[in-house]
Amino acid sequence: MSTTVSLPDERRLMNIDAHHHLWKYSAAEYGWIAPEMRAIRRDFLPEDLEPLMHHFDIDGTVAVQARQTLEETAWLLDLAAKHPVIRGVVGWVPLTDGAGVKRSLEQFAGNPKLRGVRHVVQDEPDPRYILRADFNEGVSALHEFGLRYDILIFERHLPAAIEFVDRHPSQTFILDHVAKPRIKDGILSPWDRNMRELAKRQNVYCKLSGMITEADPQHWTPQILQPYIDVVLAAFGPRRIMYGSDWPVMLLAGNDYARWYRTVTVAIEKLSKAEQARIMGGTAAEAYGI
């Protein structure tokens, strides 16, 4: 069934990469980039990003936090002010800091490029971290500031994430990297069932991103990814799916931007032109308000 896109014309035509990162690399500040991740142990800055976006006719991007500091959030917003291609930033604030959350949000409240917040829940030792009372109190503050929350989890966290979303029915959520299923092992269940359940919540969008680093990085093929893409398409529909590259982390899979971009565009060729446009830009424009 075709999806009716209700965005203004300029948004309907906009192509958006809804998920990428920028950093000035240092081992101390980006400890999650392990020594074996040689491909990304260097700077990735707007001058590296912009030629890629121009080549693929991408009009705007969303820069997503890669370090859990207020300093990085401020730095990304400064870059966004200087580089128009960065239409929005998903930053970080200390969501478990009680009254400090609002102070942090107020610090950035006047910046229109801050469109959302993310916490790296996938790396928290507590598998139910997303249900912590202090964390949920912080997430509750986002709505007042018109901010979205990006959910970064592994598939094992999906049941807790469903409960978490149900606590915040008025909050817009964006699920990163299709909840990182076990693609390398070829396992669909129970990820597929949990994704269908999560998708019943109409305030949740999903990024078609980050999949190749969950597959075998040297041997993945579009055919291996297709069953997972099919689940996402059926569960969320084009109206709530957005394209993201996860550049430059995607380089860990030994591939350039072109291969992932083509994988997505070929995978959605069976959809109508309006639905394809929705995935490649319209959904992100709506979800992030850009």
Q: Which residue type, as a one-letter code, is found at position 187? A: I
Residue 1 lies in a domain: no
Residue 69 lies in a domain: yes
Does 10 have pLDDT greater than 50? no
Residue 105 lies in a domain: yes
Residue 2 lies in a domain: no
Residue 3 lies in a domain: no
89-116 pLDDT per residue, tens: 999 999 999 989 999 999 998 899 999 9
User: Mean pLDDT of all residues in the chain?
Assistant: 94
| CATH at residue 48 | 3.20.20.140
List of residues 6+ apart from 206 with CB closer than 8 A: 174, 175, 178, 195, 199, 232, 235, 236, 240, 241, 242
Which segment of 21-30, 32-41, 190-199, 247-256 scores lowest on mean pLDDT? 247-256
Task: Count the residues in the chain.
Answer: 290
Joined together, the tokens standing for residue 60 give: 């705007």
Domain count, the chain: 1
Does 9 have pLDDT greater than 70? no
11-62 pLDDT per residue, tens: 446 999 999 999 999 999 999 999 999 999 999 999 999 999 999 999 999 9
pTM of the model: 0.94
